[in-house]
Amino acid sequence: MKHMLQICCKNNNISKDFPAGSTLLDIYYGFNLDFPYQVVSAKVNNRSEGLNFRVYNNKDVEFLDVRDPSGMRTYVRSLCFILYKAVSELFPQGKLYVEHPVSKGYFCNLRIGRPIELEDVAAIKQRMQEIIAQDIPFHRTECHTTEAVRVFSERGMNDKVKLLETSGALYTFYYTLDGTVDYYYGNLLPSTGFIYLFDLVKYYDGLLLRIPNKESPNKLDEMIKQEKMLDIFKEHLRWNHIMGLSNVGDFNRACEQGHATDLINVAEALQEKKIAQIADEIFSRNQEGGHHASLVLISGPSSSGKTTFSKRLSVQLMTNGLHPYPISLDDYFVNREDTPLDADGNYDYESLYALDLGLFNRQLQALLRGEEVELPRFNFNTGKQEFRGEKLRIDDRTILILEGIHALNPELTPQIPAENKYKIYVSALTTISLDDHNWIPTTDNRLLRRIIRDYNYRGYSARETISRWPSVRAGEDKWIFPYQENADVMFNSALLFELAVLRAHVEPILNTVPRNCPEYAEAYRLLKFIKYFTPVQDKELPPTSLLREFLGGSSFKY
C-alpha cells in the first residue's frame, strides 16, 4: 500500500490524505474545489510550483488562477513557449525575441529576413491554436547545468548557453514541448490545453502577444496605445546592442572580463546626457517668449527615482541659466479629516482629491501672472495645512518643478495653459532580458529598489514592503499609468548594471522573510531571480547616481 500524506488546502482550510507522489493537479481534483477560472499553478509551503509538481511530504497547498500575479506569470510563460514553437516551425531560420510588456501585452520582435506581413501573424496564430487544441504536455527535465548547456549549444541557442554558464548553478532544468526545447526561469502549465484565451496581432514592426485581463480573466486585456513607451524601450535596446549586450549572459561575461566599471560609466553618462537634453528642450521652450514651459511636471510610479531625477534636472537647468524652484504636491494635501475614503473606509492619500486642487490652481495661475503668493506647508503631525510666511514670486527665468504621482493627470492643472507645462514621465523600464524569451518585469526592478530603501531608511521589513506592494500597484494602475502617454518626454531611470549592484544589498534583506508567511513566496522568487546576475560592487557608482537614492551615499539631500 502506498504511503499516504496529509495535504492542507489553504483555499478551503480542509485537510485530506493523498498517496505520496501525487501531482498538484491530482490534489486539486481531489479537493473538488469550485474555482471561477482555470487553475494554473499553486503555492506549496509558500513556494510557487507548477501543477505537475509531485508531493512526497505533508504540505500546505494554495491553488492559484491568473488573477494571482504568480498564476499569470505561469500562464504567460507557457503562452510564450507555444508562440516560440509555432514560430520555429513556420520560420526555422527566424529569431523570436520576447522583449517587454507594453500596451497591456508583450511586444515580440520577430526577425525573418523581411518585414512581417499580416499573413505571417495569421499563420503563427493559427499554428498556436492548433498546438493548444492538441493539448501537448510541457515536460520539465532537471539535469546538471553542463548537460543543459550542451542541449542548448547543439541548437545554437547561445543566449541560454551564456545565461546558464554564468549563473553559477550546479543543476538546472529545461522544458520540452513535443520536440521543441526552451528555457524558462519559472513554472509552466501542465499542457498546452490549459491556455484558454490569447491573441496575437501585428504591432508596429513586431508582434503583440495579448493576454487575459487579471481582474476579469475571461476577456482579453484591453489594448492601449503606448507609442512613447515602446520608443523608449527601443532606444535603450539599441544602446545595449551597440555595447554588445543583448541579455544577462552577455552582461555577466563582460563583468567577469573586468568591464563592469566601463559599463557603469557609460550607463551613467547616457542618463546624464538624456537629462541634459531634456533641460535644453525646456530652456529652448522658455526662450520662445512669455512664461513658456515655466512649469515642469514630473510623474512616475513608486521607486522610479523621480526625486533624484528632479534634482539632477535642476542642476542641468541651472547650467542653462534658469532658476528651478521645487514645489511639493504633498504640501497641498487637504486637512486630514477632509481626505476622501477608499473602499475599506480608510483615508485614501493616493487619490487626486486628497489634494486641495482649488488652492493649487489659484496659486499657480497667480504665479504665472507674475503675482506673489504665500505657499502652504502641510504639517504631517497635526494633519493640517499651514501658512508660515513663505512667499514666492517668479520671473522669466524661474522654472517651477512639480514632482508627484498626479503630475500628468489633466485634472491636476486644468486651468494652466498647455504651453506653460512641460510633462515628464519617469520609470525604471528594464531593457535587458535574461535571454531571448525571458524578459525582466519592470515592476520587479522597482520592487527590489523599494525593499532596499524601505529597509534602510523607513524602518520597514522586506515582508512589510512585499505585503504593501499589491495596493501600491493598484494605486499606480488607477492614478499614474493611464496618463503616462500624456508626457512630452519619457525618461528611463533603469540602469543596465542595476540588478547586479542591487543583488548584494537585497539578498540579506530578502533572507529575513520567514518561510511560514504568505510573503515568503515573493521573497523566494526574487532571490532566485537576482541570482542570475554576477554581483557588482556599488563603490564605482558616482554620488549623483539615481541608484544612490535607494542605496545611500548620494550627494543630494532627500
DSSP code at position 303? T
Residue 384's CB: how many other CB atoms inside 10 A? 15
The conformational region for residue 135 under phi > 0 = left, psi -120 to 50 = alpha, else beta, is left
Domain containing 55 equals 4-65
CATH number of the domain where residue 39 is located: 3.10.20.30
CATH number of the domain where residue 493 is located: 3.40.50.300
Axis-axis angle for helices 498-510, 442-457 (nearest 10): 50
Q: Taking the mean position of all CA atoms in its chain, how far away is CA 96?
A: 21
Question: Would you state the cell numbers that stand for residue 182, as one nine-digit string?
Answer: 526552451
Domain boundary among 43, 65, 87: 65
pLDDT for 289: 54
Domain boundary among 22, 43, 65: 65
In a domain, 425, yes or no: yes
Close Cβ partners of 519 (under 8 Å, ≥ 6 residues apart): 462, 463, 466, 467, 513
3-state secondary structure of 171: strand
Query: The pTM is what?
Result: 0.90
Close Cβ partners of 115 (under 8 Å, ≥ 6 residues apart): 205
User: Cβ(303)–Cβ(550) under 8 Å?
Assistant: yes
φ/ψ of 349, rounded to 5, equals -75, -15
Q: What span, in angstroms and rounded, lies between the C-alpha atoms of 47 and 520?
A: 7
Close Cβ partners of 223 (under 8 Å, ≥ 6 residues apart): 103, 104, 105, 201, 208, 210
In a domain, 31, yes or no: yes
Question: Would you state the cell numbers that stand for residue 462, as one nine-digit string?
Answer: 522586506
In a domain, 224, yes or no: no
Can you give the C-alpha Rg of the chain in angstroms?
A: 25
In a domain, 247, yes or no: yes
The string over 302-337, giving b where at least 16 C-beta atoms fall within 10 Å of a residue's C-beta and e elsewhere, is bbbbbbbbbbbbbebbeebebebbebebebbbbebe
In total, how many domains does the chain have?
A: 2
The conformational region for residue 214 under phi > 0 = left, psi -120 to 50 = alpha, else beta, is alpha
Helices marked H in 442-516: 442-457, 462-479, 498-510
User: Cβ(57)–Cβ(73) under 8 Å?
Assistant: no
pLDDT for 243: 78
In a domain, 255, yes or no: yes
Helices marked H in 68-211: 69-90, 118-133, 145-154, 158-165
Closest residue by Cα to residue 221 from 233, 209, 237: 209
Domain boundary among 38, 65, 92: 65
Close Cβ partners of 103 (under 8 Å, ≥ 6 residues apart): 203, 208, 223, 224, 225, 226, 229, 230
Q: HEC states along 306-349?
A: HHHHHHHHHHHHHHCCCEEEEEEHHHHECCHHHCCECCCCCECC
User: What are the Cα distances from residue 213, in Å, to 58, 76, 144, 479, 512?
Assistant: 34, 12, 38, 18, 33
pLDDT for 244: 79
Q: Find where cell 522610479 sits.
A: 304
Q: What span, in angstroms and rounded, lies between the C-alpha atoms of 45 and 24?
A: 13
Closest residue by Cα to residue 206 from 126, 82, 115, 83: 115
In a domain, 144, yes or no: no
Q: Residue 245 corresponds to which amino acid? A: L
Q: Taking the mean position of all CA atoms in its chain, how far away is CA 491?
A: 15
Q: What span, in angstroms and rounded, lies between the C-alpha atoms of 327 and 164?
A: 48
Angle at 181 between CA 179 and CA 187, to 5 degrees: 115
Query: Which run of H or of E encompasses 63?
Result: strand 59-65
In a domain, 155, yes or no: no
3-state secondary structure of 526: helix
pLDDT for 292: 58
Q: What span, in angstroms and rounded, lies between the C-alpha atoms of 532 and 170?
A: 13
| pLDDT tens digit at each of 558 positions of the chain | 678 999 999 999 999 999 999 999 999 999 999 889 999 999 999 999 999 999 999 999 999 999 999 999 999 999 999 999 999 999 999 999 998 888 889 999 999 999 999 999 999 999 999 999 999 999 999 999 999 999 999 999 999 999 999 998 999 999 999 999 999 999 999 999 999 999 999 998 899 999 999 999 999 988 888 888 888 888 877 878 777 788 999 999 999 999 999 999 999 999 999 999 999 999 998 776 554 568 999 999 999 999 999 999 999 999 999 999 999 898 999 999 999 998 888 888 889 999 999 999 999 999 989 999 999 999 988 999 999 999 999 998 999 999 989 999 999 999 888 888 999 999 998 878 999 999 888 899 999 999 999 999 989 999 999 999 998 998 899 999 999 989 999 999 999 999 999 999 999 999 999 999 999 999 999 999 999 999 999 998 999 999 999 999 999 998
Question: Would you state the cell numbers that stand for residue 321, as one nine-digit string?
Answer: 541659466
Closest residue by Cα to residue 98 from 117, 115, 123, 73: 73
Q: What span, in angstroms and rounded, lies between the C-alpha atoms of 210 and 221?
A: 7
In a domain, 83, yes or no: no
Q: What span, in angstroms and rounded, lies between the C-alpha atoms of 51 and 39?
A: 9
